[in-house]
Chain A
Amino acid sequence: MKDFAYLRAGSVDEARRASTDPAVMLLAGGTTLLDLVKCGVAEPSAVVDISHLEGLDAVRVNDHEVSIGALAKMSQVADNEAIKASYPAVSEALWQAASAQLRNMATIGGNLMQRTRCVYFRDPATFPACNKRTPGSGCAAIGGVTRGHAILGASTACIAAYPGDLAIALLALDAVVCLGDRRVPIGEFFLLPGDTPDREHSLMPGEMITAVTIPASPAAKRSTYLKVRDRQSYEFAAASAAVGLEFEEDGRTIRDIRIALGGVAAKPWRAGNVEAALKGKALDAEMVRRASLLAVEGAIAHGDNRCKIDLVPRIVARAILTLGGQA
């Protein structure tokens, strides 16, 4: 691990000012940043420790929304009673992510800034070609071992998958990322790779995530996160779905439905076409299974990840039917 300077920020403004230099990185839980420094992917000249800033770890709930401070720990938010009651998909996504130790370290803001688990990205010594790391160098993943790569939203420059769980639940529940006073809907916070896979989010130099807010809704209250993986615990998603569901008064006609996919796309992926196909319809298992096939419309497999094209619609359907009491 190359050495760097360690600075402890005394205020959010101090941290923001220091991070206008692209070689300076903010350090919160450290679970992503220090890992990437050890891999040789990140080479900061200095890290600015923001983990001691006060007042940024609160979870505030009212009838309209919940506001989660950027420095709240994953474990703290997963165990929050109000989140469990009114935003269960968020709690479920969090406690199914990483391990108990990592969840005690990693923060909500840092979680949104985690990088892909693409093995080619994470191993610069063996694989110099990576457009995400070094723009223009190529993509070692294309034609390589692609079991964990994206089938949706990838480009000819990069097929890395977005690995996180939390952002999938946040996307389904229309969360907003607060960068101080600038508020960015989470769907616009993450960027598609296109020709510039090195740009992963809309954060500008000198900006810092300060909070995430989620609007309250019946669909948020009736929500779940279904994660399928290669081992039962402590593993990234092979595929996952966050779903929120609201019925009309008849208890079977779908008034509102939100579906987001994880582990299979270049960024947290909203399955709007499945939502549109189901809105206004009465919940029926066969109809749900048919509509869920739309989740992989336009998907492109890269060899090893072909299985995800079958897996995704099944996960989407199972999550919807579980919420509807028909699984």
Chain B
Amino acid sequence: MSDKNNIHLDINGRDHAVALEARVTLLDALRDHLGLTGTKKGCDQGQCGACTVHVDGQRVLACLTLAAQVEGRSITTIEGLAGADGDVHPVQSAFLEHDAFQCGYCTPGQIMSAVACIKEGHAGSDEEIREYMSGNLCRCGAYPHIVAAVREAAEVTA
């Protein structure tokens, strides 16, 4: 066993070397140490979903993940979602199309969650989308538009 103070994180296909205290979460590493502020800090307690990122393709909460724990894993944040040519992801387009936000603070987490929700095959109906997107709270209450955006993106990417 060894202390993990100097670690490497694979984020959006790029290697980042960073020196961190053991207690630093992936969320704080992204925002405060790497300048990737697209991932949002809402509750910081695993209750709101604003910090949703993908680790090895699975949606997880960055606020309850230690940065040291995901050394060696592949991390994708909202900044890594667009294509190499800069085109926005179909889920991002659908959110724009359906005006699926108001203040926008929960939106990166909603979009990261929605991309995974569709990939998991859990976006087959409005009811299923509501159940499998329930880990992302929207205090503006944009839920009907979010569900519509996820539904359309699921159809487009099917």
Contacts and interface: CB of A to CB of B under 8 A. Distances in A.
Q: Do A and B bind each other?
A: yes
Interface of A: 1-10, 14, 18, 27, 30-31, 34-35, 37-39, 47-49, 51-52, 75, 98-102, 104-105, 232-234
Interface string B101-126: 00000000000010011001010000
Interface residues of B, number: 35
B1 A7 contact: yes
Contacts of B99: none
B4 interface: yes
Contacts, number: 94
A53 to B, nearest CB: 12
13 contacts: A5-B3, A6-B22, A6-B68, A8-B4, A18-B1, A30-B66, A34-B64, A47-B22, A98-B135, A99-B136, A102-B135, A104-B59, A104-B60
B23 interface: yes
A124 B121 CA distance: 41
B69 A49 contact: yes
A101 B49 contact: yes
A101 B25 CA distance: 16
B132 A51 contact: no
B138 to A, nearest CB: 13
Interface centre among B3, B61, B120, B133 (most CB of A within 10 A): B61
B65 A30 contact: yes
A288 B68 CA distance: 53
Given A5-B3, A100-B113, A233 B134 contact: yes
A-B interface, 5 closest residue pairs, ranked by CB to CB distance from nearest: A99-B135, A6-B22, A233-B134, A7-B1, A234-B134
B157 interface: no
Contacts of A9: 1
A101 B113 contact: yes
A5 B22 CA distance: 6
Nearest to B22: A6
A100 B116 contact: yes
Contacts of B44: 38
Nearest to B4: A6
Interface string B22-36: 110100000000000
A310 B89 CA distance: 50
Contacts of A75: 58
B79 interface: no
B130 A27 contact: no
Contacts of A35: 45-46, 64
Interface in B42-88: 44-46, 49, 52, 58-61, 64-66, 68-69, 72
B143 to A, nearest CB: 12
B21 interface: yes
B66 A27 contact: yes
Contact of B1 (A2, A14, A51, A100): A14
A13 to B, nearest CB: 12
B155 interface: no
B97 interface: no
Given A8-B4, A18-B1, A233 B130 contact: yes
Nearest to A34: B64
A30 B49 CA distance: 15
Nearest to A18: B1
A104 B61 CA distance: 9
Contact of B122 (A18, A27, A100): A100
B60 A105 contact: yes
